[in-house]
Amino acid sequence: MNGPQDLGGRMGFGPVLPEDNEPLFHAEWEARALGVVLACGALGQWTLDENRHARESLHPAIYYASSYYEIWIRALEVLLLRHGLISAEELESGAAAPAAPHPRRLAATAVPAALARGGPTDRDIDTPPRYAPGDRVRARQMHPKTHTRLPRYLTGHSGVIEADRGGYVLPDTNAHGLGEHPQRLYTVVFDGREVWGEGAEPGLTISADLWEGYLENA
Amino acid sequence: MPHDHPDHDNHLDPMDARVRALETILTRKGLVDPAAVDEIIETYAHKVGPQNGARVVARAWTDPDFAAWLREDATAAIASMGYTGRQGEHMEAVFNTPEQHNVVVCTLCSCYPWTVLGLPPVWYKSPAYRSRVVIEPRAVLAEFGLHLPESTGVRVWDSTAELRYLVVPMRPEGTEGLSPEALADLVTRESMIGTGQPQVPA
């Protein structure tokens, strides 16, 4: 979706402001937010793709005015409500009746193994690759209202296949509970002048990892 | 952006109350164990951070076979050092050369190689960095104090899928004979994202 998250090439956000000796968290609630979001993810009720889509579906005014962990928490509330894990009344009142642990509740002792395992998204696919390294391709002109990982600044531009990464879960369907539908993923390299025109910085190339369905012959 | 540097000492921060209330509900409903939340925080505070990536880079500088493995199969090479898992399931290492400097971004969210770099800094997640580094990387790098020769091309890697990128900076001159441990101390987080260079030995 052409949402607030799709930032490549947008202007007006000012300078990048690195912070010397930046602390890991800027407030205690940020640390709790990280832990709560990961622990809820372990319940297995949604995918990371659905989670990303919940974040980018926040109203642009809220998205841009919120810190990273605030975006995480706002999206988590949406997901918890959507999947019926909590009710709007509970969220509103802050009160809930005690319940037995969920069968998939993440135990403290299970955290190291869960984090060390992660969630690989590569998948075997048996269809032959449509493209090979060196092929010229174009990022399709597509603007779905649903989740996609094709950034707007690349749509319609042509580049060169650099690597075939094999099959990966397709976020476009997976984010909406429509299945993994793995497709081949390619690293595609775009020349800066192709993407940004005559004013592009000299010597700039940009690459993105794009699924086969995002591409067409150029 | 008022939220780039929020008022960290504001005890009336509404997010504090909001997250506290949410965790309380989730705990009462048996969905979250606060001890697991503690353990997750502990992991990223003390176990998983840029010190991991620095060890990978220092080893690549000193062990040509490892460097070749890292180039060929970064996921396996990095896993051999014990760094695996969440947001590092599929790794690629990209090596800086005099001809090409590499910079990593996620324009669509904040994808970042957690297993080797830990949690991303605020600037990496900021709209300013995500919007600008793909269109004017040299200007952004200059704000970090990194001025590249004109003859060096800039390659920006937009992490649009589940591949996570670790930049392997060039080994600084004057570091011959340093141990991998001493070399790792020179490898900054920014140098592994591409917005900085390793430190030079004092």
Instruction: Using an 8 Å CB-CB cutoff, list chain B residues near A73.
Output: 15, 18-19, 22
Residue B11's pLDDT is what? 55
Q: Taking the CB of residue A92, how many other CB atoms lie within 10 A of it?
A: 9
User: Is B153 in Cβ contact with A196 (below 8 Å)?
Assistant: no
The β-bridge partners of A209 are A187
Kindly report whether the global pTM for this prediction surpasses the value 0.90.
yes
Q: Which CATH number fits domain B49-193: 3.40.50.620, 1.20.1440.120, 3.90.330.10, 3.40.50.10470?
A: 3.90.330.10
User: What residue ranges do the domains of chain B occupy?
Assistant: 14-45, 49-193
Residue B127's pLDDT is what? 98
8 Å CB contact between A35 and B37: yes
Helix (H, G, I), strand (E, B) or coil at A73: helix
Residue B87's pLDDT is what? 97
Q: How far apart are CA A96 and CA A10, in angstroms?
A: 43
The β-bridge partners of B165 are B92
What domains sit in chain A, N to C, each tagged with a CATH number?
Answer: 28-117 (1.10.472.20), 136-217 (2.30.30.50)
Residue A156's pLDDT is what? 98
Residue B1's pLDDT is what? 38
pLDDT tens across B146-174, in order?
Answer: 999 999 999 999 999 999 999 999 999 99
- Which chain B residue has its CA at the smallest distance from A66's CA? B3
CB-nearest partner of A105 from B32, B152, B155: B32
Confidence of residue B3 (pLDDT cuts 50, 70, 90): very low
The pLDDT > 90 percentage for chain B reads: 93
Low-confidence ranges of chain A (pLDDT < 50): none
Confidence of residue B4 (pLDDT cuts 50, 70, 90): very low
Tell me the residue type at A6: D
Strand order in the sheet with A136-139: A215-217, A136-139, A158-168, A183-191, A204-211, B153-158, B100-105
pLDDT tens across A168-217, in order?
Answer: 999 999 999 999 999 999 999 999 999 999 999 999 999 999 999 999 99
Q: What is the secondary structure of B122-143 as a DSSP string?
A: HHHHSHHHHHHTTT-HHHHHHH
CB-nearest partner of A115 from B1, B86, B125: B86
Q: Is the ipTM of this complex over 0.85?
A: yes
